[in-house]
């Protein structure tokens, strides 16, 4: 599943729509649930999720998106993702589930690393 996770997040920086869509198709299940602090409601349609990722690619063209760390507990994966580089970098954490084929089905994102206040 870690390849699917890496493919999903690196697709965010792919500017070419055809290439980005193909990359997302390779790692997303036909049934998805996606939520992050910028979504008004969960995204439950794969096409809508591809559009959401495409919107990011258009708003931040060329911004690198990388998976900084992956850890697992049972069937759940936590991915720490870095958006941007240098002083402008932001980190987020995602809890992810996949189907039996390793395609992503549930992706729930949080801003930052959850540091104590």
Amino acid 44: pLDDT? 97
Domains and CATH numbers, the chain: 2-104 (3.10.450.50)
In tens digits, the chain (117 residues) has pLDDT values of 579 999 999 999 999 999 999 999 999 999 999 999 999 999 999 999 999 999 998 988 889 999 999 999 999 999 999 999 988 899 999 999 999 999 999 999 999 988 777
Amino acid 114: pLDDT? 85
Amino acid 1: pLDDT? 58
What contacts 22, CB < 8 A, 6 or more positions away? none
CA gap 39, 41 in Å, rounded: 5
Contact 108, 35 (CB under 8 A): yes
Closest CA to 97 of 115, 84, 81, 79: 79
Sheet holding 76-83, edge to edge: 28-35, 104-111, 90-98, 76-83, 65-73
């Amino acid at each position: 599943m870690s390849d699917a996770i890496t493919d999903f997040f690196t697709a965010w920086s792919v500017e070419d729509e055809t290439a980005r869509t193909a990359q997302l198709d390779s790692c997303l299940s036909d049934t998805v649930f996606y939520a992050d602090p910028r979504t008004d409601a969960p995204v439950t349609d794969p096409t809508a999720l591809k559009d959401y990722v495409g919107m990011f690619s258009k708003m931040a063209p060329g911004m690198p998106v990388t998976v900084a760390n992956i850890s697992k507990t049972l069937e759940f994966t936590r991915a720490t993702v870095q958006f941007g580089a240098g002083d402008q970098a932001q980190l987020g954490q995602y809890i992810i589930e996949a189907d039996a084929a390793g395609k992503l089905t549930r992706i729930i994102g949080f801003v930052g690393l959850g540091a104590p206040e």
